């Protein structure tokens, strides 16, 4: 899969759904994969060392969809379900300190919600409990040990390079 950060458009803005009680500046970035636009959403800084040392499991919730009629983006009805999932995770699990949102990506027929967590079993238990009244979602969940937050650092680095070239 070819990913191009060369044509990334980044915009600093206030993310409406903040990660904690205080709102943080975030980035909405656009890249292209195989010619299709992909939108990334993330806070443009690493959390404190204490948080990074506690949350060592990279957790990727993947939702594949058919966006061929919409330039690789989800159709409205499916996007509403994706937002419902994301909102539930934020309201019910993230506020408990069980996880930290790293980034979200949408495009090229794939939605990914990426978090760092400290305990896989606790996360799955909380997720199942939070989603018990929801319809079943077509998601896959993968866990990767990432004690140094390398995945997120790579994303920050890729967007930083592009932003510096544009200035």
Which residue in 3, 4, 8 sits closest to 162, CA to CA? 8
Which residue in 1, 15, 35, 38 sits closest to 112, CA to CA? 38
Q: What is the pLDDT of residue 82?
A: 97
Which tokens sit at 95? 């506020």
φ, ψ dihedrals at 119, nearest 5°: -145, 120
pTM of the model: 0.83
Q: What is the pLDDT of residue 61?
A: 98
User: CA 101, CA 86: separation in Å to the nearest integer?
Assistant: 10
Q: What is the pLDDT of residue 46?
A: 94
Q: What is the pLDDT along the chain (167 residues), one digit of tens a residue?
A: 444 443 333 332 323 333 443 345 688 999 999 999 999 999 999 999 999 999 999 999 999 999 999 999 999 999 999 999 999 999 999 877 789 999 999 999 999 999 999 999 999 999 999 999 999 999 999 999 999 999 999 999 988 876 545 44
Domain ranges of the chain: 3-166
Quick check: helix, strand or coil at residue 21?
coil
Q: What is the pLDDT of residue 25?
A: 67
Which tokens sit at 51? 């948080």
């Amino acid at each position: 899969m070819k990913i191009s950060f060369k044509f990334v458009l980044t915009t600093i803005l206030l993310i409406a759904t903040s990660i904690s009680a205080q709102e943080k500046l975030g980035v909405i970035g656009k890249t292209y994969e195989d010619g299709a636009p992909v939108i990334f959403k993330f806070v443009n800084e690493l959390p404190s060392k204490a948080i990074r040392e506690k949350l060592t499991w990279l957790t990727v919730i993947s939702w594949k969809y058919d966006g061929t009629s919409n330039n690789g983006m989800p159709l409205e009805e499916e996007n509403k379900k994706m937002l419902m999932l994301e909102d539930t995770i934020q309201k019910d699990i993230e506020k408990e300190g069980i996880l930290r949102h790293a980034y979200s990506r949408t495009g090229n027929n794939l939605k990914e919600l990426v978090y760092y967590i400290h305990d896989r079993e606790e996360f799955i238990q909380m997720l199942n409990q939070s989603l018990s009244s929801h319809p079943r979602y077509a998601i896959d969940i993968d866990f990767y040990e990432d004690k140094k937050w390398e995945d997120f650092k790579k994303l920050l680095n890729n967007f930083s390079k592009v932003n510096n070239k544009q200035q």
